[in-house]
Structure 1
Amino acid sequence: MTDAGQLARRYELDWLRVLAFALLIFYHTGMLYVERWGFHYKSQYLSSTLEYLMLASSPWRMLLIWLISGYAFGSVLRRLNHWRQYSKLALTRTVVLLLPLMVGLWLIVPPQLYAEMVQKDGLTLSYWQFYQAFFDLSHPLFNDYRRGVWPHVDVNHLWYLRSLWKFTLVLLLLAPLLYWSPVQQRLSRFFALPLCWQLLGCCLFLFISRYWLEGDARRDVQGFGYFLLGALLVGQPPFWQKLAEARSWLGWGCFGNYLLLCGLYYFYTQPALLPSALQPLLQICLLGSFVLQAALMVWWLLALAERYLNKPHRYLNVANRTVFPIYLVHQSAIIIAALYLTPFQLGGALEAALVLLFTLVASVVFVGVFWYLPWCAALVGLKTTHVFSQWQQRLGYALGLIIVTPLALTLLL
């Protein structure tokens, strides 16, 4: 067990969580317009220049979210001291995470597949006709899309929820070892080391995993690494003190390496400018700069937040509650808006502005509807201010567990 001071709430992480998920709206809108990066749907107005702006957040955005998620879960874990508490936490987190994922799989994500098929395959069915076929897992319409949790029923941007649930279960199993006193003593000594050594460790981890792994395997290994790191940072005051002291050089390091990253990326996308013999070296340098930017930016943002955002605000609680459902719906709103704006040929700037406006309005409406339907709020991961009785909570968790059990078994097997 740790003392109260060590477990004091870090409001800066709450702020960073809100800001990081808000960034996803702009990032996924940008994915409509970048020329060389794949996405479920693409605008007719593509830009290679936009890729350099996207590189400003691409290396680190999900790593920051994973670290914050790990810290939040680690704060809960450190308060547990009995196997029954671990079991209860596993069941409640299963419902809290997989119930919105189930809703997302069958109701929120399908419009993304529809837009993808309209653009890539020239699909002419109405959305209602498409959606009726969607529930037939063996329908020939989806012969080229046999991927996902179930055939053609994929997670898309909701992969975070799938991975978060799995990481939660793994960390619950590891918790007795991680919070064993001798292990904690060694971790304390590690986090007391100079920050450059910890930064080097993060870079090596990211470089090796990115070099040797691909696709979901690479994403999950890196995600779990930072999720675990976030959990281990709970109750480590020396680490946060070192961050505060290193804020200046971390910032300059991020700026200088970002310029280097953009330069390397330019030569990577223009292979004719370099001899072919130098291409392997260029790729290694680009990878090294990418992972260095990822590690530096996460540390720098934590340092900035600790200095400027470590305080509560009356709107912070509301923002924290609404982040989850907005994350759930935002990418589908982006792609729906882009699909129906495409025929009007509005130009890239106006189209992007309208996509963002529609996404923000749709997100607010989505949250507002479920805010006033507290009995349904759990379906989209929204924590309302409504107070349920103990028997209502137990009934809700029991029903939720029944609903998500098929999904949980599918994800585990």
Structure 2
Amino acid sequence: MKTQRRYDIDWLRVMAIGLLLIYHIAIIFQPWAMFIGFIRSDELMEGLWKPMSMLNVWRIPLLFYVSGMGVYFAIQKRNWKELLLERGKRILLPYIFGIIAIVPLHFLIFQEYYNLSLGYYAHQGHLWFLGNIFAYVLLMLPLFFYLKKIKNSRFMKGLSSLMKNPAGPLSVSILFVVETILVRPQVFEMYAQTWHGFFLGLMAFFFGFLFVYIGQAFWQTVLKWKWLYFGLAICFYIIRLTLFNMEAPGYLMALESNCWIFTVFGFGYKYLNKPGRILSYLSQAAYPVYIIHMFVLYAGALFILPLEIPVLLKFILISLFTFLVCFLIYEFILRRINILRPLFGLKWMYKNDEKKAEQLSEPVQPN
């Protein structure tokens, strides 16, 4: 079955990975960086936390939504065995390889920076996202293929009718609110390796699939009411900032998170649903860059933080170093050495068939 490519979803995935890199760089300059295993600068930039906190309530949930959307497109041309094999190659293989060979690198750099005894151990680190996504695929596969079988059913038509109302997309937030009440996360934004992160991601993954499954109703609604969702997101953020000193109750954070995400979907659908050579390149680069960025970031911190220069310049230099070195590794190593491509989520490039390597990847990663 031939499906129409959604370039806005590709763009959102690329942009979310870019924000992830910037966010992780900013953590280095926060006082609590070492508590979550990051190298910490002696000179801090605590003013970065307010914009960081605004991003942090929606950047990871957005990637879970987008990953669910990617599965919808994937099952249109695959049976369940083919999907499991394809997701095993694209997600499970890089996940296992990353745990063994990539994540330990930034732990070693951390030990070097703080003059600790060097010791290797396998750890999933930032690749926890891939582990979650593969678990969601296994859990949701029967339901997704059942929904595919009953497409154009009363259920789908009922969902489509609900999503034509601006309250329709917001109604899914009820389940996210219930999750915070039941799980009671100490920190809403602590998604990595927590039950809160797992259940929140599972719901976002499912609804991402559902929003594409029901057709244009959802997208036309977020397009039409994008400014409403943006206004609500701003209001929730101001309440969190002024009344709760950024530590609002989980149910308010859940509502704010989805309002930001529906805003992003609306503006993305309007302005980003266009193909291009830049998107084609970045869409394929995003996944490998996500996998390698942490040890590159730590390497940049190792060399730049000891320099006697203003802290703002350190932030800028580490940012430039991270993006540039990730690009160089991707462009001249990962993209060109065929045996490495599958280990970083890229398709095998066949001889005399370079066009295959230029095809857009389906949006599955964190990302």
1:355 to 303, 318, 330: 318
Q: CA deviation at 1:345?
A: 4.0
1:190 to partner: Cα distance: 2.3
Matched with 1:88 is 82
Letter in 1 for 2:205: F
Separation in 2, partners of 1:267, 1:162? 29
Report the Cα distance in structure 1 between the residues aligned to 2:237 and 2:129, rounded to whole angstroms: 26
SS at match of 1:45: coil
1:12-411 to 2 correspondence within 5 Å?
12-36=8-32, 38-41=35-38, 42-80=40-78, 85-117=79-111, 122-123=115-116, 125=117, 130=118, 133-134=119-120, 152-181=121-150, 184-193=153-162, 194-202=165-173, 204-213=174-183, 214=185, 216-235=194-213, 236-266=215-245, 268=247, 283-284=248-249, 287-368=250-331, 369-383=333-347, 386-387=349-350
Residues 257 and 334 (structure 1), Cα distance of their counterparts in 2 relative to 1, 3 Å cut = same
Kindly state the Cα deviation for residue 308 of structure 1 after the two structures are TM-superposed: 0.8
Tell me, which stretches of 5 or more residues in structure 1 are unaligned? Answer: 135-151, 269-282, 394-413
Cα offset for 1:295?
0.6
- 1:78 deviates by 3.3
CA shift for structure 1 position 257: 2.3
Worse overlay, 31-40 or 354-363: 31-40
2:347 and 2:81 map into 1 onto residues whose CA distance is: 22
With over 3 angstroms needed to count, the CA separation of the structure-2 counterparts of 1:116 and 1:191, relative to structure 1, is farther
Indicate if the aligned counterparts of 1:192 and 1:239 stay in contact, CA closer than 8 A.
no
Distance 1:219 1:389, change over 3 A: farther
Tell me how far 1:180 sits from its aligned partner: 4.0
Deviations 1:358-408 (A, max 9, x none): 111211111121222123211212347x33599xx9xxxxxxxxxxxxxxx
Is the CA contact 1:178–1:184 (under 8 Å) kept in the aligned structure 2?
no
SS of structure 2 residue aligned to 1:317:
helix
TM-score computed with the length of structure 2 as normaliser? 0.84
Deviation at 1:254, TM superposition (A): 2.1
2:55 partner amino acid: S
1:408 alignment partner in structure 2: none
TM-score of the aligned structures, taking structure 1 as reference length: 0.76
1:249 aligns to what SS in structure 2? helix
| Shift in Å, 1:55 | 1.4
Question: How many Å apart are 1:52 and its aligned residue?
Answer: 0.7
Aligned to 2:190: none
**SS of the counterpart of 2:46?**
coil
Q: Is the 8 A contact 1:40 1:115 kept in 2?
A: no
The 2-side partners of 1:191 and 1:175 are apart by: 17
CA RMSD of aligned residues (A): 2.5
| Residues 221-230 or 373-382, more deviating | 373-382
Distance 2:97 2:178 in 1: 36
The whole-number CA distance in structure 1 between the counterparts of 2:73 and 2:57 is 26
Q: Which runs of 5+ in 2 are unaligned?
A: 186-192, 357-367
Distance (Å, rounded) in 2 between the aligned partners of 1:109 and 1:20:
20
